[in-house]
Structures are given as structure tokens and as C-alpha cells.
Amino acid sequence: MDLKSSSSHSKDLTDPVNDLSARISKTKTTEEKSKFSFIGFFHRIFKRQKNYYPRTIKIGKSTTLSTGGTKFPVNAVCNTKYNILTFVPLVLFQEFKFFINLYFLFVATCQFIPEIRIGDPITYWGPLGFVLFVTLIKEAVDDIVRLWRDKEINNQKYNRMCRNGNTVIRSKSIKVGDLIMIEKDKRIPADVVLIKTTEKAGACFVRTDQLDGETDWKLRLAIPFTQNLAEDSDLFDLDCEIYAENPKKDIHAFIGTYKIVESDGKIIDGSLSVENVLWANTVLASGTAIGLVIYTGRETRSVMNANQPKSKVGLVDLEVNNLTKILCMFVVGLAAVMLLMKGFDTYWYRYLMRFILIFSYIIPISLRVNLDMAKLYYAWSISRDKHIPDTKVRSLTISEELGRISYLLSDKTGTLTKNEMKFKKVSAFGGNFTEITTHLETAYSLNQANIHPIILNIKTTVEAIALCHNVTPIEENEKIVYQAASPDEIALVEWTEKVGIKLASRDLNSMELELYNGDRKKFDILHLFPFTSETKRMGIIVRDDETKEVSFLMKGADTVMSQMVQYNDWLEEECSNMAREGLRTLVVARKILSPEQLADFETQFHTAKMSLTDRNQHIAAVLRRLETDLQLLCLTGVEDSLQDQVTTSLELLRNAGIKVWMLTGDKLETAICIAKSSGLFSKTDNIHVFGNVQNRRQARTELDKFKKMNNVALVMQGSSLDICLRYFEAEVAGLVCECSAVVCCRCSPEQKAQIVNLLKRYKKPARIAAIGDGGNDVSMIQAAHAGIGIDAKEGKQASLAADFSITQFHHICRLFLVHGRFCYKRSCSLSQFVIHRGLILSVIQAIFSWMFFFVSFSFYPGVLLVGYATAYTMFPVFSLVLDRDITSAEALLFPQMYGVLRKGRSLSIKTFCIWLMISLYQGTVVMCGSYVGVYDNNFVELMATSFTALVITELIMVALTIHKWHWAMYLSQALSLICFMGSMLYFNEYFNLKFITSSNFLLRTSLIILLACLPLYIIKVTRRALSASTSYNQIY
């Protein structure tokens, strides 16, 4: 039966094509709002209510359907932002949120009022229309691309199972209650419960990298009863009911149950968890699967987790926005001054508005468009840099932030280290195992009664390591490779293989170990408890197929396991010893279960799993009763080697004035060891380990002790940090920010983000960067001003969530010191020149009005003003994004120069005032120089002389600013000059051909340009010489 999302859900339906029976029931928990409410009508249009309900789906013989009148969302993917009706209104709404656009809309609209109209309306509507046109085209192209992608996904075809045969159905037509067949390497179109698979034992693998960023394959399990059906068509003879909880965002949890009534009346029930579900947009990696659709469309996990993070605004954008507001006040102030000089009359407000309109060119409407285009170029140049291959820019708006970083917060594992685990050591009873292979050969060749206790312990320990994991051997290219979520587990299994116990095979119910002599030993898997970041441990219950002995095996972090194992006097000391060597430690333990203990546990565990409310808490309570009095077997140590060039990179960052903090979940000793070996702690640092505090008084004592220290590198545990921040947040922020380096160990993902936000609050406007490689770093990366993700082997979640994605830690140096510098300096130059272009024009206009008795009309015609802002100067000014004040090699060779950028001197109130003075000087020279010698106040000659001098002065100023010429700069200058000269010939009403070809015009224009530019050229040459000398002295 096809379950239709319409009002017909309230009636009993029979589908002649599909006799699959489905009954879906939902319980509404909220009252219905009035459908005829005027406000409610618009509320439903503009803000769709998202009420989610659980559902019960019955498959088999029944042909009834009851949904309580509610609808399920369609399964169509829709990532477009607009439709035909909303496109223009929404884009315009987004654009006019910007102050500068709203200001120009006001100015342009004033041109419709005859009393205050200034010149040709095209002068004002032209630039505004150009900006809006560019934005509309960009948004339209982006949305069309999204539409094409959506159509491609929505039209993918799948087989829907029916009693009378399968039918082909498009992805967008799939509905809740459908049984669909999914083939290998195909996208899962909706959230489905795994009913049956062609893989043995009812297990299949899915690739979830597009959902959670993790590249390891996930094992999923079919319902045992339906998996054992002989034929797929037998599904239609069942009396089966499946319950699914209301849709939620959590992709790592699911609560459901199934109940099957057999022909003899026997009831088989069981729980459903995330292991039984295939989420939409994952990919089936093995076999062919049959799934029952439980969630579609916006109720799928992938859509519910598709919320876009808040867009970040760079400091340069904030500074430009502030300058724009200053310019607005300057316009009003200048207009008021002109009005005061003119004198008040009856219609003074008209003249005020006219002066405001005349001077509106001071505020550059094209500035944001120029900066947006520059940011696209920055992203392109970063991604094309062969020195940092595969670098991706995912956030186009904050490239300049890379040039002003003060703090870099870094993860450890997979970021400073390679996350390539190598087994190094195993310790038991306070000593290290040696000659393990020989002892294992002895153990397996003798009867258990004749084995020496130490050798028996070695055998038990290695078997436990070989069994307690979630590793699956997979055949790829005729070779066996291990598939697991954690590289630690693979390292342990590879080690057991080296010493003589190999993981030969594994399925849902059993595991086989191949011994050194080729014999195989089989174990039945009774229960598996996967590792989570909350529990920090994993466990498994296995039964020896030969002896029938049942063992509960566990491994996990020492902080957790030390509370569960029997008393011992060596574990804590050995953990510290291994941590000082920089090894990652895991404690392995076991517990032999009697048949009675196993039966009692399984009864309680089944009850807990069948809970529909607080299931996880019930399961955890049952496991806690099992996780007691464990026999401690061993402590393992694996090594995670440092990333290439990490030591030199950290030194380079330190010399650039960037403080690097390491935030890790590892234990204190391991973190200190890595900090020393990586060079995070310099040789001159005094390392201070902050005491483990439990209350406010202890925190106060430790802080007082810490205050007295100088030149400190701080090591602090996450629990102590929580206590200190709770009572002394401001003081802690001030103290830790003075440290040369900081290491925070045992740090949770939430604490990492909390530290980022702490720095953002108390070190404003310092820019904070964060770098990590795992899912536990995402919150920190998204909270930082600039988030950098490393494309890791174990997953892409951090990389996908970051603003910038790199493949190696040392690439961050070039990203900051080279690209960060170039992006920041170029945006500053571009912003200043766009502002200067408007300022000098307004100065000329003000002087013109003053010379001619405070007239309130535009000096230059609208077409020339539009040409000045576009064809005559736009390309040379924009070509500044190609400029480089130093080479890439120099930026890396002298990292001390990076520190100057953090002070923000390239774009500040001081630089604004300098450019204001330059504009006042050049505008005065151009206007007064043009006026002198004009015969009989010839307006056309005055306009032609001043405008020509204005355009060429602007081009020369761009040329004087350039440090290193690029061929595109030459081209832009030449094209602008040709365009301007062509305009002079074409607009003969503004440029008298006889006059502009006369020697008088050429001489006067040349003198004006020379007088306007030469003093500034001399000042700039002098400043560069002095600046170079000062920079040299600072570096050396």
C-alpha cells in the first residue's frame, strides 16, 4: 500500500497495486490553531510549524490505515533558497539590511521629488542598480545550481516492493510505510529500518561521510526474524508492527520497537536502535537491503541536521562599516556647513537635502561589491597555491581574518599528531610483557592445567585484546584490511596478529581468531557495547565455542576503568609512566560470567532496551551493575607520532606573535609530553601545572599561587578550569592570556568552545583561530573567528564544518603569514582607494559650489560620474588585489612582520584621516588649478580640465600605491586610459575637441596632475625608506 500524505489518511484505503498493509498512528499533543485566523494564515505561510510525532507502522496482512488526520512531509529534497515569487523580494530584503544600500536607496528615491532633484537620476539609480543587478545574478545562478542538484537527487529511481511485484518509484515519491530495495553503492533516499539484507547474518555496511563526516564504514543490523525469512515476498504474510519515536536531530540515537505475532499466536518483540536504521543520504556499502521507510523529507535526520551555521563577519568588514557611518556623518556635516555659508531662507531644508544628495558620492556604494569580488579572488588564489595543496576555502567572507590572528587553539590528536597509531607497549602487574610470541606458542601447546600462571595471564590478556574491539576484517583488492572507527583499535588488533593471534573473520554473531599454527578458535558474540565519548569505554560479552566459558571484556580510559577494576597497586603508576613517554593508554579488564549471571543480565538488559522513555539511562544503569569487580588484565600504550614540520611550524607561529594553546581530551602527562616534543613549550618556559581543584577555596589558592609566576606555560585540567571559570572568570581570562603557551587536558568538546568564547569576550577585538580534525572539534571551530579543519583520515566532519580546510598542520603557517597578510593588506588598500575616489570628487563639488555662490547642482554630468565610478577607475583600483608588499618567501622568513598586522594600522581612523587630508589637498589642487586661467568662466573648459585631471590623478595614485606590478595592472591602466580618451571624443558636448587638443589644455592639466601627485610621491618614497629601516631594526 502507498501511504499518501493527504487528507485521505483519515479513511481506510486499499491500494490495488500494492497490497502491503500499513497502519500509521500519531498522537497529537498540541491544540489545533484556528485555520481561519488572519494572523495564523500568514504565520503558516512564512514560518512553517515543525511538530514531530512518533508513528507505528504495521506491515503484513492488515489493509487498514489510520493517521489521525496528520500529514507526512514529501520526500523531495529542496535546498533552494527562493522560488519565482519570493526571489526578488527576499534578495532585496537581504541587500537593504546593509546600511550603505539603504542609504543609497533613500538618495535615489529623493530624485523623484522635483524640488530636490539633482541632475540626471541615472547618476544615483545607476550605481545602485548595478550593485543590485550583480547580486540578483549571483543569487539566481547559485539557486539554479541548487535546483539542478535537487532535481538530480529527487529523480533517482528505486524499487518499491509490492505483493504483486516490484514497481519503480522516484525518490521524491517515496512515502512513510513503503518497503524499498536499496542496492550497493546507492544513496539511501529516506530514513529506513533495515528489514532484510543479502549479506550473511543480516549485517550490512553504510558509508556516512556525507552525514557525519566520518569515513569509516558503519555496521547496521537487520531485524533477526525478518532477516531469516526464506523469501522477500514472505514479508507480506507477516503480522508485524514497528514503532518509531518522533523525529529528532541526534544521528547517534534512535528508539523503536518491533512486535511480530506468529501464526500460532506467539509474540516476538524486540528493541530497535540506531544499529537497525539507515539514515537518508548515507550510502549502502555492501549487499542489497530492504528497508521500511519511517521518516521522509524534512523529518529525516540529514535534513534536521542541515542547519547552516551563523555566518561570520570579518573585522575588516566591521571596520569598513564603521567608516561608512563616519562618512555618512561627514556628508551631513558638509551639507550643513554649505547651508550655513549660503544662509537660511524659507526653503532651507530643500537646499540641505540637495547638498546631501550632491555629496552622497562620498559614501562608496560599490565598496561592498568590490570587497565581495576581492574575496572570491582570495579564495581562488588560496585553493590554487601549490605549496598548500588541497586547501579549500569554505567561508568566502573572512579571508582577511587570517592576517590578524592573535590566538590559535589547537586539538592534539590528528592535528599536532598524525593519528597513525603504533602499538608500543603492554604492561601487567607493574611489568612489561616480553617474548610474547614464545609464551603464546607454549600456552597453546600445553593443557591449561600445566601452563605457568604468568604464561596463562599472557594468553588471557592477548586474547582479550584480540576480542574486545569493534574491528571488522574486509577484503579489498584480494587483501584483508581492518575496518574500524578508531585507529587505536586497529593498532591493537594488528599487534595481536604480529604476536600470533589474528582476527580471521567476524560477523554479527561470532568472531574467529587464527592462531600462530593456523588453528582457529571461535567465539560467539552475545552482546556488544560500543565506545562513546561520554562513557570513554567499550565492552563485549563473548562465549568460547569450545569451553562455553562466557567472558565480559572491557577496555577504556584509565580514569574510568580504575574505578571498575579490582584493587591493584600498579595501574596508576604505569599510566603515568606511559603518559610521560607520550603514549595513549587503554586499560583492559575482564569478568567471567556464570550462566545465572548472564541470564539475569540479559533479562534486565532486554527490559531496558524495550523502554520507550529514557532508554539510554535504563541501559546505562543495567551496565553499571555489570561493570564492577573486573579483573585487571593489562595496560596498553600506543604511540601517535607528530605531524611533519610541526615543531618548526609552532616556532614560526610563536615568532609571529601568535599564542598557541593545545586543547585535548588526553590525560595530563601525555599532553605535557606532546607539548614538549612538538615545541609548543619553549626551552625557556616555566611549566606550571595548575592544581586539581574541587571548590572555590582551592581555586582561589591556586590562582594566588599562579599570579606570582612569570614567563609561564600553563597546564590545566578541564575540571579545574570549570571551577575557576565558575567563580573567577574575568581573573582567569586575564591570567591565562598572559601565558606564553597553554595546555588544557581532559577537555570536553563543550569546554573547547567555551574557551574560544572566553577569549572572544575578554580579548576583544583580538582574532581567535581554532584548528582540529575530529567531530569533537566542530563546536570549537565554529565558535572561533577563523575555524580551520584538517582533512583527517578518520573523518571530514571538522573539515566540512570549518571556514578553511587543510591537509597538514604546517600548512597553517602559509595560510596565516602569506595569504592572511595579502588578503588583509589588499582589502585595506582597496577600501581606502574606493573611499578616496568618492572623497576627492565631493571635495571638488564643494569647492565648485563655494566658487559659484553655493549653487546646489552637480558640477559633473551624470554620465561622467557613472563613468568615473566604473569604466575610468574601477579596474585599476580593483587591480590592487593583485599587489604584494613583500614576497611569500619574505613573509615566511620574517614572521615578526605579521605582528604589525594585528594592530590594524592598515585600515583605521588614522589612515582614514590621512586619506581625507589627501583628498582635500588633491581636490583643492584639481579644482583651483582648473579654475585659474579659465577665460570668462568658461564652464565647459573648467569641467573638461578638472575632470581629466581628476581621472588621471586617480590612476597615478593607484600606480604610486602598487608595490609589485602585475601584467593585469598594466592592462587595467591602459584600458581605463583608452576608455577615457574615447569618451572625450564621443561626449563632445562636455569635451570641446579644439580645446582638449590645444597646448594650453595639455600644459595646464599636466601641471595640475604634477602638483597633485608629486608631493605625495615624495612623502611615500620617504615613508617607505623609513619603514623598511624600522622593520629591519625590529626584526634584528
What is the mean predicted confidence (pLDDT) over 886-908?
Answer: 91
Q: What CATH number is associated with residue 673? A: 3.40.50.1000
**Which of the residues 2, 191, 212, 411 is marked catalytic?**
411
What is the mean predicted confidence (pLDDT) over 949-966?
Answer: 93
Is the predicted pLDDT of residue 11 greater than 50, yes or no? no
Residues 683, 747 within the same domain: yes
Q: How many CA atoms lie within 13 A of 689 on its CB side?
A: 10
Is the predicted pLDDT of residue 341 greater than 90, yes or no? no
Residues 380, 449 within the same domain: no
Greatest mean pLDDT among 42-46, 265-269, 624-628, 1025-1029 lies in 624-628
Is the predicted pLDDT of residue 34 greater than 90, yes or no? no
Selected residue with higher pLDDT from 775 and 237: 237
Of the pLDDT bands very low, low, confident and very high (cuts 50, 70, 90), residue 16 is very low
Of the pLDDT bands very low, low, confident and very high (cuts 50, 70, 90), residue 651 is very high
Whole-number average pLDDT of the chain:
85
Q: Domain limits at 739?
A: 402-416+643-806
Selected residue with higher pLDDT from 895 and 142: 895
Instruction: Give me the pLDDT at residue 9, please.
Output: 35
Last residue of a domain, one of 765, 786, 806: 806
Q: Is residue 95 part of a domain?
A: no
pLDDT in tens, 275-302: 999 999 899 988 899 999 999 998 998 8
Selected residue with higher pLDDT from 49 and 742: 742
Q: What CATH number is associated with residue 553? A: 3.40.1110.10
Place of cell 522516484: 170
Place of cell 583561530: 769
Last residue of a domain, one of 573, 607, 639: 639
Residues 50, 71 within the same domain: yes
Buried b (16+ CB within 10 A) or exposed e, 390-402: ebbbebebbbbbb
Residues 423, 411 within the same domain: no
Last residue of a domain, one of 614, 639, 664: 639
pLDDT in tens, 551-578: 999 999 888 898 899 988 888 888 888 8
Of 377-381, 430-434, 470-474, 672-676, minimum mean pLDDT range: 430-434
What is the mean predicted confidence (pLDDT) over 342-371?
Answer: 82
Q: Please say whether the beta carbons of 269 and 607 come within 8 A.
A: no
Is the predicted pLDDT of residue 655 greater than 70, yes or no? yes
Sign of CA dihedral 552, 555, 556, 562: positive
Q: Which three cell numbers stand for residue 982?
A: 574615447
Q: Which three cell numbers stand for residue 532?
A: 562513546
pLDDT in tens, 136-179: 888 888 889 888 988 988 999 999 998 888 899 999 999 998 99
pLDDT in tens, 523-547: 999 999 988 777 889 999 999 998 9
What is the mean predicted confidence (pLDDT) over 630-654?
Answer: 91
In this structure, the strands spanning 804-806 and 267-272 are unpaired
Residue in 547, 744, 573 with CA at minimum distance from that of residue 664:
744
Residues 18, 64 within the same domain: yes
Number of domains in the chain: 4
- Name the 3-class secondary structure at 835: helix
d(CA 547, CA 550): 9
d(CA 779, CA 751): 9
Q: Is residue 330 part of a domain?
A: no
Q: Which three cell numbers stand for residue 489?
A: 583499535
Q: Please say whether the beta carbons of 775 and 797 come within 8 A.
A: yes
Of the pLDDT bands very low, low, confident and very high (cuts 50, 70, 90), residue 507 is confident
Q: Which three cell numbers stand for residue 988?
A: 563632445
Q: Is residue 783 part of a domain?
A: yes
Q: Which three cell numbers stand for residue 290?
A: 530492504
Q: Is residue 216 part of a domain?
A: yes
Q: Please say whether the beta carbons of 934 and 941 come within 8 A.
A: yes
Instruction: Give me the pLDDT at residue 170, please.
Output: 94
Residues 449, 558 within the same domain: yes
Instruction: Give me the pLDDT at residue 1008, please.
Output: 94
Question: pTM for this structure?
Answer: 0.77
Is the predicted pLDDT of residue 47 greater than 50, yes or no? no
Give the single-character DSSP code of 817: I
Residues 431, 570 within the same domain: yes
Q: Is residue 253 part of a domain?
A: yes
What is the mean predicted confidence (pLDDT) over 230-246?
Answer: 88
Is the predicted pLDDT of residue 241 greater than 50, yes or no? yes
Place of cell 562620498: 362
pLDDT in tens, 73-104: 999 888 788 888 889 998 888 888 777 778 88
Residues 491, 567 within the same domain: yes
Residues 431, 410 within the same domain: no
Q: Is residue 995 part of a domain?
A: yes
Give the single-character DSSP code of 565: B
Is the predicted pLDDT of residue 38 greater than 60, yes or no? no
Residues 612, 647 within the same domain: no
Of the pLDDT bands very low, low, confident and very high (cuts 50, 70, 90), residue 213 is low
Is the predicted pLDDT of residue 62 greater than 80, yes or no? no
d(CA 568, CA 565): 8
Is the predicted pLDDT of residue 601 greater than 70, yes or no? yes
Place of cell 565558575: 726
d(CA 20, CA 313): 53
Selected residue with higher pLDDT from 39 and 1006: 1006
Instruction: Based on the residue annotation, tell me whether 411 is a catalytic residue of this protein.
Output: yes
Instruction: Give me the pLDDT at residue 111, please.
Output: 80
What is the mean predicted confidence (pLDDT) over 29-47?
Answer: 41
pLDDT in tens, 424-440: 888 886 555 667 777 78
Q: How far apart are the first and last CA of the chain?
A: 80
**Where does residue 567 rank: exposed (0-12), middle (13-18), buried (19+ CB within 10 A)?**
exposed
Instruction: Give me the pLDDT at residue 570, please.
Output: 87
Is the predicted pLDDT of residue 343 greater than 90, yes or no? no
Instruction: Give me the pLDDT at residue 429, please.
Output: 64
Residues 491, 570 within the same domain: yes
Q: Is residue 97 part of a domain?
A: no
Sign of CA dihedral 92, 97, 103, 109: positive
Q: Which three cell numbers stand for residue 151?
A: 532535481
Residues 870, 1009 within the same domain: yes
In the chain, count H helices and then E strands.
35, 33
Q: What CATH number is associated with residue 219? A: 2.70.150.10
pLDDT in tens, 745-782: 888 888 899 999 999 999 988 999 999 987 778 889 98
Q: Is residue 334 part of a domain?
A: no
